[in-house]
Amino acid sequence: MSRRERAGAILAFVVLLGSCAMPSSNDMVLLSPGQGDARIQAACDVTARACTRCHELSRVYVARFARPADWQSLVYRMRFMPSNSITDAEAVQATDCLVFRAFGQAGVDQLVHEGPPGPQGVTK
């Protein structure tokens, strides 16, 4: 087997492995039934709709942050993207959902929703 064939086989294996590791975008849900209370479930429904306006939900599955505030900063940064229409209420719900997924209720309890942290130097 040539070097090129070997590289192609490795790439095919990685793609296959990746497709097995993550459900298709159509099958993705942010929370399984029974996770979180009704407010968090509703927030995750809003989040799925808001996030998929611009990109696939699979990006949420691969994102990892060390602190709840990092998710909050990301959500508010997304609000400054061109053609974005995330409302203040959706931003709060998206943050709550994403933080709950990553850190549970304890992470949500750490959040302070006093308004957007706002990326430096960016205006909308």
- 2 within a domain of the structure (yes/no): no
Q: Which two tokens stand for residue 17?
A: 């492995």
The count of other CB atoms within 10 Å of the CB of residue 17 is: 9
- 68 within a domain of the structure (yes/no): yes
Q: Which domain holds residue 46?
A: 24-110
Q: Could you identify the residue written with the tokens 């993705």?
A: 28
- 105 within a domain of the structure (yes/no): yes
Q: How many domains does the chain have?
A: 1
Q: Which two tokens stand for residue 88?
A: 């203040």
Per-residue pLDDT tens listing for the chain (124 residues): 777 776 665 665 555 444 444 444 445 677 777 778 899 999 999 999 888 888 888 888 788 999 999 999 999 888 888 877 888 899 999 999 999 999 999 999 998 776 555 444 444 3
CA distance 117 to 5: 49
| Ranges assigned E (strand) in 2-98 | none
Question: What one-character DSSP code corresponds to residue 84?
Answer: -
- 58 within a domain of the structure (yes/no): yes
- 3 within a domain of the structure (yes/no): no
Question: What one-character DSSP code corresponds to residue 121?
Answer: T
Q: How many residues does the chain have?
A: 124
- 4 within a domain of the structure (yes/no): no
- 8 within a domain of the structure (yes/no): no
- 15 within a domain of the structure (yes/no): no
pTM for the model: 0.68
